[in-house]
Structure 1
Amino acid sequence: MPPRAAGSPEGGPAMILFTRRILLGTATLASFAAQAQAAWPTAPVRIIIPFAPGGVPDIVARLVAPHMQAGLGQPVLVENRPGAGGAVAAELVARAVPDGHTLFMTTVSTQAIAPNLRPDIRYDPDRDFAPISLIARVPLVLLVPPALGVRDVKGLLDLLRREPGRHAYASSGVGAPLHLAGELFRQLAGVDVTHVPYRGSSPALTDLVAGRVTFMFDALPPAVPFIADGRLTALGVGTLERARARPEIPTMQEAGIAGFEAYTWAALYAPGGTPAAIIDRLHAEVTKAARQPDVAERMQQLGYELVISTPAELAAFQRREREKWGEVIRRGNISIEN
């Protein structure tokens, strides 16, 4: 074979033409992909909720959905998919096409507690979800019946330490945020108390009012009527700052339980692998929706606190929550069989 002339391009004119066609094709595909993302959404957007209607993620989703719909130009539908402590919905979203048409409004239960408590879950909270924004925070509050005769956390601790092993705290179920808040209190305070799980917070509150259990943690919004009419006494809230809805209640740290922080929250995610441009658009729309006057006013009425984050901040927050509650679960030797 004769040698190529010096300076002659490898393959000659035919190769140059072929290369140009490849580059043109690649640019065309990239243009099509960009146009497809610019045209998003092309169908209704579903927000999947892992619990029955009425919980924090459900209420927050229904508050922001109409405003997101106006901004996106497509219907935004809220769908409740309860089951297996939220795992049914989490697995559905984790396996959804990552095109921004399926979203997940969830909370600490699926993203931080279940990975530490349920070895059978079939999703990874970091790999399988793309964080969009934290939206709301709901303080947990320590409650006792007035007949107990204590008016502050110190009084409760004095009672529990005088009578070790004789008192119990209620929760909405094993591994629920209310249970883990009680367990965190037990660990930090060093008291000997028994956990009594109920099937939901309503029957637990009923027994607390009747004096069948000594104390419990509950989300502040459903507890407010009991506090307002004197059926229960609030001793402290689990946020680091006093709750805007009830600023007269001290924080647990102010009350003497150093290191105590416990609240529930609502955050929006997409399936892992959703394009960054779509995540950015969703972040803009949901944060704009959450800041609308009617949404902000209703959240305040409910006792929810607006907490907006970037996707990166939500990812870091989720990891911190998982590590924190995982440590509480391990130290308490908690399992779903308990």
Structure 2
Amino acid sequence: MRTITRMLAAITTAGFLTTGFAQAPAATDFPRQPIRMVVTFPPGGSADAVVRMIVPRLNEKLGQQVVVDNRPGAGGNIGLSLVAKAPPDGYTLGVGAAGALSANSSLYANMPFDPLKDLKPVSMLAAIPFVIIGHPSLSAKTQKDLIAMAKSQPGKLSVAHGGNGTAMHLSAALFSQMADVKLVEVPYKGSGPAALDVLAGNVPLAVVDLPSALQHIKAGKLVAYAVTSAQRLPQLPDVPTVSEAGLTGYDSTGWFGVVAPAGTPAPIVERLNAEITAALNDEQTKTSMRNLGVEPAPSKPDAFDAYIRSETQKWAKVIRQANIKIDQ
């Protein structure tokens, strides 16, 4: 998929809690017991689905069971806090998204952990492009029209998104800042409900993930103004990027990846990275992921770490300017 090519190029240069803090085993001995994979999303979502796609291969290659433990809540902070406080032995891993790993430190006044200090990146798993959609009844048919409409009605045009602090929320905020418009941001409990309310005409606009809107866009029931990624989507080849449509330099893509507790020995991190990368590069897995609307995005640990840090800086500026805060 060409959509995420530039972002992937930038980042690809890829237990159960124990009561004691015994010395971590050498990579040649790892793993010697089941691995707990704390997923900071509820069952059924794209991140949970991707994890469950690669778990059978990890079980086979690692010779131990990888047990999925869904711990959603607080924008990912609940699950990743467990990981941050776990022994750094490779037996407790976490799956977090852009929000929890890069934006939450600016969104939440009291973070239970420091993503940059308390976690060790292992590999990104996937990238998720978003699309700006509208109800067909709107007179605005292009992004240029949409911006003109928003400027003529400051503070009156609403845009739905998948929840406060999510990458969709931040994508909407970045759009407003770069377009110099004032939109009323309306949080929903997920991308699907936001898209359905635009479809029903209850809210005029939304920033949602592709699977939530694609069939309705193709049926002409929703207008796709632009995609938020740096490249066009093959599923919507005629829909421009936000940057192409006039906001030069705009680029916002959701993502999620695997982390371990800080201090996890490098050989163990490298072993985990190698097996996760191999699982993501499996052709059947790639196809299944793309059918979900996500792009496989394996990365080396150091590259993933650098990407998280750059995203943290980027979103801190957007959050500060938009004065977005989340009550924990």
Query: What TM-score do the two structures reach when normalised by structure 2?
Result: 0.88
The yes-or-no answer on 1:330 pairing with 2:320 is yes
Q: For residues 162 and 91 of structure 1, what CA distance do their matches in structure 2 show?
A: 44
- Give the letter aligned to residue 187 of structure 1: Q
The yes-or-no answer on 1:237 pairing with 2:235 is no
Q: For residues 147 and 280 of structure 1, what CA distance do their matches in structure 2 show?
A: 52
**Range with bigger deviation, 286-295 or 164-173:** 164-173
8 Å Cα contact 2:127/2:296 also seen in 1: yes
- Equivalent residue, structure 1, for 2:5: none
- Equivalent residue, structure 2, for 1:49: 39
Which of 95, 101, 106 is the matching residue for 2:85?
Answer: 95
The yes-or-no answer on 1:258 pairing with 2:248 is yes
Inter-CA distance 297–86: structure 2 relative to 1 (3 Å threshold) = same
Displacement of 1:59 = 1.8
Q: For residues 53 and 99 of structure 1, what CA distance do their matches in structure 2 show?
A: 26
Q: Percent same amino acid among aligned pairs?
A: 38
8 Å Cα contact 1:219/1:263 also seen in 2: no
Partner SS state of residue 146, structure 1:
coil
Q: For residues 261 and 185 of structure 1, what CA distance do their matches in structure 2 show?
A: 10
Which of 134, 139, 150 is the matching residue for 2:129?
Answer: 139
Partner SS state of residue 285, structure 1:
helix
Partner SS state of residue 277, structure 2:
helix
Displacement of 1:226 = 2.0
Aligned 1:132-211 pairs, distance under 5 A = 132-211=122-201
The yes-or-no answer on 1:126 pairing with 2:116 is yes
The yes-or-no answer on 1:106 pairing with 2:96 is yes
Displacement of 1:158 = 2.0
Q: How many residues align?
A: 306
Displacement of 1:75 = 0.8
8 Å Cα contact 1:60/1:266 also seen in 2: no
Displacement of 1:35 = 7.0
- Equivalent residue, structure 1, for 2:270: 280
| CA offsets 1:152-195 (integer angstroms, 9 cap, x no match) | 21121122223323211112222222211111111100112212
- Equivalent residue, structure 2, for 1:300: 290
- Equivalent residue, structure 2, for 1:66: 56
Which runs of no fewer than 5 residues in structure 1 stay unpaired? 1-32
8 Å Cα contact 2:27/2:271 also seen in 1: no
Q: 1 or 2 for the larger relative contact order (CA 8 Å, sep ≥6)?
A: 2
Inter-CA distance 35–174: structure 2 relative to 1 (3 Å threshold) = closer
8 Å Cα contact 2:24/2:88 also seen in 1: no
- Equivalent residue, structure 2, for 1:246: 236
| CA offsets 1:37-74 (integer angstroms, 9 cap, x no match) | 31110111121111211233212211111111111011
Inter-CA distance 301–202: structure 2 relative to 1 (3 Å threshold) = closer
Displacement of 1:85 = 1.9
- Equivalent residue, structure 2, for 1:37: 27
- Equivalent residue, structure 1, for 2:281: 291
Displacement of 1:234 = 1.1
Which runs of no fewer than 5 residues in structure 2 stay unpaired? 1-22
Q: For residues 206 and 221 of structure 1, what CA distance do their matches in structure 2 show?
A: 12
Give RMSD over aligned pairs: 1.8
Q: For residues 86 and 237 of structure 2, what CA distance do their matches in structure 1 show?
A: 42
8 Å Cα contact 1:137/1:306 also seen in 2: yes
Q: For residues 154 and 170 of structure 1, what CA distance do their matches in structure 2 show?
A: 19
